[in-house]
Structure 1
Amino acid sequence: MPEQSGRFGAAVRIASAATAAAVLAATLTPVATSSAPVPVSRGPVELPIVLTAAIDESPTTLGIADSSLYTLSEADVNTTLDKLQSLGVTDIRIAVPWIFVQPNSSQAYDWSRVDMVVKAAADRDMGLLGVITGTPPWAGFPVNGHPDPDTYAAFASAVATRYRGQISAYEVWNEPNGVTFWSPLSATAYTEMLKAAYPAIKAADPGAEVIGGVLGAVGNIPGVSTSAVSFVTRMYAEGAHGYFDALSYHPYHYVTPFSQGTLAGEPIGQVAAIRALMLANGDGDLKLWATEYGLPTSAVSAAQQAAYIHDFVVAWQQVEGAGPMFVYTTRDSATGAFDDEANFGIFTTNWTPKPAADTVAALIADLADGTLEPFDVTPYMPANPLLQSIGVFIRQLINQALLVPKIVVQLLSSVVNAVARTIAAGLGVGPAIRTAAASAPQPAATTSAAADAPTPRRAVARSKRQPALSPATSAPNSLRRAKPAQPRVVRAAVGEREHQHTARSGTGRSAR
C-alpha cells in the first residue's frame, strides 16, 4: 500500500489506519487463538485444472497488481483481464485474503471468489502472484494483527495445495513494516511467520516461489513504521535466510521520480541498501521484486502518473538484482473522489484509458523486443510543501474514516454468506461439504521430484541474474517471456524447471 511522500504523510497514513483498525476490531470483537483450526472446504467446485504460466523473474517482466479482482463479479473480472490483455499484460498480482476466505474458524474455506479469479487468469494464460494476507478476527486483531505463525502457515498450505500449478508465486503478507498492516511493529514476529509459512507452502507446491518482506516505502517512525532496510536487517538477524526465494518492495513516492532519488531514505536508495544486505547475507543470487508501484490521479495529474511509471520501469532495468515489476492498479474505483485509494487505476471507473494505460502497453512492447529507451521526467514540485503536508494530513484522516465501513461491510457479508451456505448444505439444498484434500483441485500429473516435501530451508540452487539491460540494448531471447502452447504441461519441480520467477494489498481491498 503506498505511503504519502510528504513530510508528515507516511506517519499520518499509518497512524490513521491504525485508528481505523482499532475501530474495526472493537466492532467485530475478535477472539485470538494460538491453535491452527482444521476447517473443511466447500465442494464440489467446478474448477477446471488449467495450469497458468510461471512468472519470468526478469526485470523486463511488467505486470499489474489488482487486488480488487477478489471483490468483482465474474463479468467484471473477465472485463478487467480482457482490458489488461489488450495492453499486453501477462502477469497479475492478486489478493488471497485470509480474512474473507476463512472468516470463521469453525466454517469451511470459501474459495469461490479466488477460484473464479484463478480460472479467468488461466483461461488467458496469465501468470499469477498471490498475496496471502489479512488476519481474520478469530485469529487475532482483525486485518493487521499478528496471527499465530502455525495458524497462518496452515492457511498458506491450504492455499498452495488448492492452487498448485495455478498460482506460481506467493507473497507472505503485505507491508509488515508499517502498523497499517502489521501491528504492533515487529520484524521478529514477521520472520517467525515467514519461517513457518515457507516450508508449509513448499511442501504443498514445491514449484511455487515464496516471496518475503513485501515492504512498504516508509521511514523509521517509532511505533508507526520501520524503514525497509531496518526491517530486512532485523529479518536476517532473526534467521530469515533460507526461508524465501525472493524479497519484494513497494517503491512508492508521489514527489520524486524513482530514478532521481538522491537521499538514502528515498526508494532508489532503499533498493540499493536492501540489495547490499542480500549480498552480505548470501542471497545475492535471489531477486528483489517491485510488486507495487503507482500514483493516484487524485494527488497528481494523469500525465504525471504516466511519466513517473515510465521513469520507474526504465530505471528498474538498471537495478542490480532486480526482478519483476507490478504497476498498481487496473481501474479507479471512484474516479475524481477525494480518496486517493480510489484513483490509482490506469483506467478510469468507466474504463476510459488514462495516459498511463498507453504507457504501460508501450513499455511492455518495448521490453519484449529490447527497444526500451532512456526517459527523462520532470519531477513534481509542490508550490508550498508545508501546505501540501497539511493537506495530506487531512486527506488521510478522511480516507481512513471512509475505509472502516468498507471493511466491516465486506467482512460481515462474507460471514453471512458462509453461514448461509453451511445451513443450505446441512438441509441438502446446497453442495456437500468435503475435506480440503478431497475438494482441492490438483494437476493431472506431477513429477516425482515435485511430490517430495522440501526441507525447511532452501536447498535448491538458484540461477544467477541476467546482466542488467542497457535501455538501448536489445533484450536477449532468454529474457523474453515465452508462452507455451495449450494444453499446458505440469511444471517440473524447482530443481528441474527452467528458473522462472515471479506488493498492493490494503485494508480497503483486503490485500491490495
Structure 2
Amino acid sequence: MIEAVKFWNEPNNKSHWDPEVDPGWVKYAELVKLASAAVKAESSQLTKVLGGISPIDPGFIQNLAGQGVLEAVDAVAVHGFPLDWNHWQIHIWPERIAEIEAVTHLPVWVTEVGVSTFGAEEVQEFGLKRTAELLRGRVPRIHWYSLYDLPKAWPATTRHREAEGSSYYRHYYMGLLREDGTPKLACRHFADCTPDLGICQWFHYEDHRLEDAVRWLKKLGVKKLRTGLSWADSFRPDADAWFDRQMLALEDFDVTVTFCFTPEHRGLQPHHTSAPQVPEEFAEFCGRMVRRYVGGSATPVEQESPLAAVA
C-alpha cells in the first residue's frame, strides 16, 4: 500500500514551514532525523524521502546535509511550477534537477509538478506534454499536481496570499479535473503519460472526492500516487477511521505518504507551519502510521542512481 514516506511538504517554503520560528532549519533537521528513526524502527526497508523543496535550492540541501539529515533519508524531492510561480522557463527543468544532483548522491524525485488553467486550458495542455518530454526517464519519480482543482470554498495552503496577488488564485486551477469533476483539455492526454507520471492529490479530512478520485486515477492508468496524512488531523474525532477509509481506498496504488502539518496546540506558534514544541511527538505519529498501514514487511523502492535514470 505504501511504498515511501515523506517528511513534511516544502520545508523551505514559508507557506509550509515558518523559518522565523526555526532559523537555519535546525529544528526541521532534528524533526526529520527523529521521524526517520521512528519509521525505520517500524519498517526497516521502507523508503524515506526528504520533504519536497520549493523553490529548488541546492543551498538548502547543503544546509541539511551539513546537519546530517541526508544520512537519514533515501531520496530527496523537488517541486516546480515554471509556468505559474517559478522565475525560470519550463525547458530549464533538467538544469534544476542537475543542480540538486550536484550536491547529493541521493536520487532526486519530482513529487510536485504542474500547470494551472488560470489563463487558459491550452497552457496546461502544453505544459503537461512538455513536462513529460523533459522529465520522463530523467528522474525516478514524477507526480503531477494535481487531479482536482481546489474547491473555491476552501483556502489555499499559503502564508502570503496578499503578497501573491492574482497568483494566489492559480492555486485553484491546478487540476486535470474541474471542481465539479469534469475533465479539462489536458486530461485527455494524461493516460499517454502513465504509468511514468503519477499524481499528487491531497485529500482533506473526510474528503468527499475520495471515491471519485480513485475511479479517475484508475481510468487514467495511474500507478504511483502521492498524498498526505496530517498530524494535525490526527487530533480530530474519529481521525483513525478517516485515515483507514482513505488508505483502504488507495490500496491499489503505490502510495507515497507525506507526513506534515503541526497541530496548532502542539506548535511553538499556534499554526500548522510551526516547528513543534516536542519533535518526538511528530516522530511518534509517523511511526504509528507506518505501524498501522505498512507493518514491518515493506519492500524498498529500488534506489536508482541519477545516472541510471538518465541512461
Q: Deviation per CA, 1:139-164, whole angstroms, max 9, x where unpaired?
A: x8xxx55878xx1231x211212334
**Preserved CA contact (<8 Å) 1:217 1:267:** no
Distance 2:247 2:204 in 1: 13
Structure 2 CA distance for partners of 1:96 and 1:208, relative to 1, 3 Å? farther
Structure 2 CA distance for partners of 1:75 and 1:357, relative to 1, 3 Å? closer
Q: Which one of the candidate residues 70, 76, 86 is aligned to 1:122?
A: 70
Q: Which one of the candidate residues 225, 231, 239 is aligned to 1:308?
A: 239
Distance 1:117 1:94 in 2: 13
1:395-474 aligned at under 5 Å gives the runs: none
SS of 1:87's equivalent? Answer: helix
% identical equivalent positions: 4
Shift of 1:325: 1.5
Distance 1:197 1:333 in 2: 40
Distance 2:36 2:149 in 1: 29
TM-score (norm. length: structure 1): 0.43
Shift of 1:226: 5.2
* Cα root mean square deviation, aligned: 4.2
Q: Which one of the candidate residues 135, 145, 150 is aligned to 1:201?
A: 135
Q: Deviation per CA, 1:192-222, whole angstroms, max 9, x where unpaired?
A: 22322333234xx63432221335673378x
Shift of 1:167: 3.9
The reply to whether residue 219 of structure 1 matches residue 151 of structure 2 is: yes
Q: Which residue is equivalent to 2:6?
A: 63
1:47-446 aligned at under 5 Å gives the runs: 58-69=1-12, 71=19, 72-73=23-24, 75-88=26-39, 90-97=48-55, 101=57, 111-117=58-64, 120-133=68-81, 144-145=84-85, 151-154=89-92, 156-164=93-101, 166-173=106-113, 182=116, 184=118, 186-202=120-136, 206-215=138-147, 218-219=150-151, 225=172, 228=175, 230-231=177-178, 233-234=183-184, 235-237=186-188, 241-242=192-193, 244-253=196-205, 256=206, 266-278=208-220, 283=221, 286-290=223-227, 292-294=228-230, 296=232, 303-304=235-236, 308=239, 311-312=242-243, 315-319=246-250, 320-329=252-261, 335=267, 342-343=271-272, 349-351=276-278, 353-354=280-281, 357-369=283-295
SS of 2:177's equivalent? Answer: helix
SS of 1:198's equivalent? Answer: helix
Q: Deviation per CA, 1:90-144, whole angstroms, max 9, x where unpaired?
A: 223221315xx5xxxxxxxxx31233336744322432232124x6xxxx8xxx5
SS of 1:251's equivalent? Answer: coil
Q: Deviation per CA, 1:354-381, whole angstroms, max 9, x where unpaired?
A: 5x653431221344436xxxxxxxxxxx
Structure 2 CA distance for partners of 1:353 and 1:361, relative to 1, 3 Å? same
Name stretches of at least 5 consecutive residues in structure 2 with no aligned partner. Answer: 14-18, 41-47, 154-168
Structure 2 CA distance for partners of 1:96 and 1:171, relative to 1, 3 Å? same
Structure 2 CA distance for partners of 1:217 and 1:330, relative to 1, 3 Å? farther
**Preserved CA contact (<8 Å) 2:52 2:111:** no
Structure 2 CA distance for partners of 1:130 and 1:357, relative to 1, 3 Å? same
Shift of 1:344: 6.0
Name stretches of at least 5 consecutive residues in structure 1 with no aligned partner. Answer: 1-57, 102-110, 177-181, 259-265, 371-474, 497-512
The reply to whether residue 481 of structure 1 matches residue 300 of structure 2 is: yes
SS of 2:53's equivalent? Answer: strand
Distance 1:118 1:313 in 2: 35
Shift of 1:246: 0.9
SS of 1:67's equivalent? Answer: coil
**Preserved CA contact (<8 Å) 2:97 2:108:** no
TM-score (norm. length: structure 2): 0.66
Structure 2 CA distance for partners of 1:228 and 1:124, relative to 1, 3 Å? same
Distance 2:100 2:243 in 1: 32
**Preserved CA contact (<8 Å) 2:35 2:284:** no
Spell out structure 1 runs of 4+ moving beyond 6 A.
330-334
**Preserved CA contact (<8 Å) 1:64 1:329:** no
SS of 1:189's equivalent? Answer: helix
Aligned length: 270
Q: Deviation per CA, 1:24-59, whole angstroms, max 9, x where unpaired?
A: xxxxxxxxxxxxxxxxxxxxxxxxxxxxxxxxxx53
**Preserved CA contact (<8 Å) 2:138 2:310:** no
Distance 2:36 2:128 in 1: 33
Distance 1:327 1:493 in 2: 29
Q: Deviation per CA, 1:277-319, whole angstroms, max 9, x where unpaired?
A: 31xxxx25x32321x34264xxx7x6328x5267425641442
Equivalent position amino acid for 2:52 in 1 = I
Structure 2 CA distance for partners of 1:217 and 1:237, relative to 1, 3 Å? closer
